[in-house]
Amino acid sequence: MLGPNTQDDTTCTRRRSSSAITISSLPPELLLLITDYLPVSAIVSLKLTSNHLYHATPLPKAYHAKPAFHALPLCEQRALRRNLDEAADLATGRRQCLLCNCLLHLRFFPNDGATCDLHSGRYMSTSLPPGLDAPTKARLERLAGFSQEAYWVAISRQLCIHTGRVVRWDVPACECGCDSCAHVSVVCYIRISHSSLRPSGWWLRSDHDGNCWVQEYDAGAGSEASFRPPTCEQESKPSQLAVLGESPGVSRPIPVVSLQVAEKTAGTRSLDTLLV
């Protein structure tokens, strides 16, 4: 009969062995059952996880047949190319934007994001977006009542690559119904101000330390000139920027803070030192 110490050791060994079960330790029969429910891009991602899964997981027939591959949904094709080409692209210091599919230098991807910063303007708004959820809308409306100076609030949201829309920003919920499209995290920006006046234009700026701010442009009262982002030469003179129609305007930096920081500092006179 086993003694108490030996029984305890056996129980601990069984617990350790049961907790150490991973997908790599599953028998091939279970792997085949799992992959039957996965899209092609997910199977490719699973194969690229380890050498064991690479050889143990078979590729679907749709991957080998070129006509069948092109018959796959567009999101499925993009996911396959992304899984296979991303490592090679990163080795050359480049990355493919999930939104515009452009292969760009890594400097165009702030904070190691999946979309390039050329799309940052589409995540910025001076009014409440249509798909914003009610709790966040109430929090932002409360901040607008306390604000003495204009500032921008950064809010993290999920971007659906299939539709190109931001969930709980552009639309209340994702309705694409696709199993393979990526949902990536993006930072959206909304302007908080007690005044009803809005700038003529704005663009997001950042420095090498990761601090960001919004450069706002005012065309002036009664001016009908439209906004145009500055050139490199004009950026050296931040107080004067060119607009269409050759009408001068004035720009100013506006701080960017997170929603949590904005709520903690609601009612303060200055947010200049609270850059995100």
Reported pTM: 0.67
Instruction: Say what the pLDDT of residue 153 is.
Output: 94
With a cut of 70, list the residues of the chain below it in pLDDT. 1-20, 60-69, 219-249, 267-276
Asked if 154 and 276 count as a contact pair (C-beta separation under 8 A), the reply is yes
Instruction: Say what the pLDDT of residue 67 is.
Output: 62
Instruction: Say what the pLDDT of residue 58 is.
Output: 80
